[in-house]
Amino acid sequence: MLDQRFSVSVHIMTVLSYHHGELMTSDVLASSIRTNPTVIRRLLAKLVEAGLVESFKGKTGGVRLNCQRKDITLKDIYMAVSGKPLLNNPDKEPLKQCAVSCAMKKIMCDVTSGLENHSMSYLAKIKLADLTEKV
């Protein structure tokens, strides 16, 4: 998982949880994460769309959690910002004369499906509140 959207989004959500109820700006969040506010705004849009965060516009606007931190899991965050499988399956046509080539798509689909199920199950067990307690 080379994509950093998930880890940055977990950071965003943990900051919002830590500052429970306070409106936070993308500039403040970007400072904590040491990245560009534009990156934060893109991820916030996905978190808002998923209903995890609420956004308030204007000079005194910002974002805050839209749910209780005990009700938000890392799976919720992952699905909000990624919504795609952790691993891709082979998409090339197999070489018909090769038994291994013909079997690999099914083999790898089973492997990636198992990894996906275990990973999502693991992420579903971790609550945002658990992370906030570690800060």
Q: Tell whether the model's pLDDT for residue 98 goes beyond 90.
A: yes
Residue range of the domain that includes 50: 5-133
- Looking at residue 90, which CATH number applies to its domain? 1.10.10.10
Residues belonging to the chain: 135
pLDDT in tens, 102-125: 898 889 889 888 988 999 999 999
Tell me the C-alpha distance between 118 and 124, whole Å: 10
pLDDT at site 94: 87
Question: What was the pLDDT predicted at 91?
Answer: 78
Specify the number of domains making up the chain. Answer: 1
pTM score, two decimals? 0.84
Q: Could you tell me the CA-to-CA distances from 100 to 89, 91, 96, 105, 106 in Å, in that order? A: 15, 15, 9, 9, 10
Q: What's the pLDDT score for residue 1?
A: 40
Backbone angles phi, psi at 56, to 5 degrees: -125, 125
35-61 pLDDT tens trace: 999 999 999 999 999 999 999 998 889
> In degrees rounded to 5, what are phi and psi of residue 91?
-125, 5
